Amino acid sequence: MRRLFDLDADPVAVSATLRRDPALAPLVDAVPGMRVPGAVDGHELVVRAMLGQQITVAAARTAASRLVAELGEPVPGGEPALLFPTAAAIAERAHGALRGPRRRVEAIRAVAAALASGELDVHAGRDPDSLRADLLAQPGIGPWTADYVLMRVLGHPDVLLEGDLVLRRGAEAVGIDIDRLADRAAAWRPWRSYAGMHLWRAATTTHHQGGTR
């Protein structure tokens, strides 16, 4: 639970670093205790990340719901809910539950098979560099997905999802030159994951507030 809710974060240190950037300071002041959400299950997070590649959040949620509806097992004890399907179930029986281009569907099933067999080992105790290399070696997993997994499963505090469209939209909304985002973000180390959380939030809140330029 501590990992899931990032309860061991140091919001004072994070805020002090991020406030040095005038574009981030108002965002930090609005939500000074922003945390990076963890993940209950590494296998589920990898599959959800792959489902969410190059589609909207709403579409990814629909795809995950369909997968659970068709392959999920009932929660023990008679609760009216389904568990997220196991990697083995996705690899073996996800023929009709996955939609989209055939190459993408096959990649998800191949990664699920690697997770089920133990070839791809995703858990909170992994070394970040080693896990990233293992993820990038899998079909259909690129830098965004690998880094997202590091941030959520390992709780890595210094991940910059530079190519994330929503993050870039948030950066642009607060006046950051997105063509120089990586250079600008060097000053946010070692808390770039937290900066990303603020920029994701800015992508929606600044739209309603008229921007913060």
Residues carrying an active site annotation: 164
Distances (CA, A) of 53 to 24, 50, 104: 27, 5, 10
CA distance 100 to 121: 26
Please name the residue that has the structure tokens 């990814």: 60
By CB neighbour count within 10 A (0-12 exposed, 13-18 middle, 19+ buried), where does 107 fall?
Answer: middle
C-alpha triplet 82, 85, 46: angle, nearest 5°: 125
Q: How many CA atoms lie within 13 A of 28 on its CB side?
A: 21
Q: Would you say how long the chain is, in residues? A: 213
Q: Is the dihedral of CA 132, 135, 137, 143 positive or negative?
A: negative
* φ, ψ dihedrals at 159, nearest 5°: -105, 130
- Coil, helix or strand for 204? helix
Cα–Cα distance between 79 and 45 in angstroms, integer? 23
Distance of CA 106 to the CA centre of its chain: 21
